[in-house]
Amino acid sequence: MTTPTLLTISGSLRKGSFNRMLLKQAAVAFGEATVEDADLNLPLYDGDLEAREGIPPAVQVLADQITQADAIVISAPEYNKGISGVLKNALDWVSRVPGGALAGKPVVVLSAAAGRTGGEVAQFMTQQCLASFQVRLIPGPAVLIAAAMNEFDADGNLPNESYQKAIAGKMQALRAAI
């Protein structure tokens, strides 16, 4: 197989995001790949903006990254027991780009959160939202990093072996689905 392209998508914009850290761990577990990182710093979806100016360039970049990806991993933060506005906004924009870039793509959804359930609600909500894009969601045990502030070290590593094992299982399944 030629080197696959893995697209990492963080539903949190902040630099020190635990979901970003989780995506880095996931990319390592995926193995050799060209890793592209999505930037979800997009304008808010607005039908008037779309009618006036069409698809914003940053959204088109994201849609093109999705098209070129062989596999996609999304990490979803949990905000008030739901999907982050940043991630939902990105999905809403992508759904407006002709061509259905996400259709048929193998996708893994992970989550890291401060709470004890590791962002479970946000992770399932993300999967529900993705259903209408006809992605190929990778099944299997969910990767939910609970109390994330206690799990990642200063370098963004995740020493907990059971988490590492769960991430490896999920990412190897993603690779196999290409």
Site for ligand FMN contains 79 (CB under 6 A): yes
Q: Is 177 in the site for ligand FMN (CB under 6 A)?
A: no
**Residue 143 in contact with residue 20, Cβ under 8 Å?**
no
Between 8 and 19, CB nearer to ligand FMN? 19
Residues near 30 by beta carbon (within 8 Å), at least 6 away in sequence: 6, 71, 73, 171, 172, 174, 175
163 binds ligand FMN (CB under 6 A): no
Interface with ligand FMN, residue 81, by CB under 6 A: yes
Among 131, 137, 81, 78, smallest CA distance to 105 is for 137
Give which of 101, 100, 120, 104 is closest to 112, Cα–Cα.
120
Q: Is 142 in the site for ligand FMN (CB under 6 A)?
A: no
Q: Which is nearer to ligand FMN, 77 or 106 (CB)?
A: 77
Does 14 interact with ligand FMN (rule: CB under 6 A)? yes
Identified binder of ligand FMN from the candidate list 6, 7, 8, 19, rule CB under 6 A: 19
Cα Rg of the chain (Å, integer):
16
Taking CB atoms, the residue at the shortest distance from ligand FMN is 115
Contact range with ligand FMN by CB under 6 A, out of 50-58, 65-73, 76-84, 126-134: 76-84
Strands (E), 113-159: 136-137, 144-145
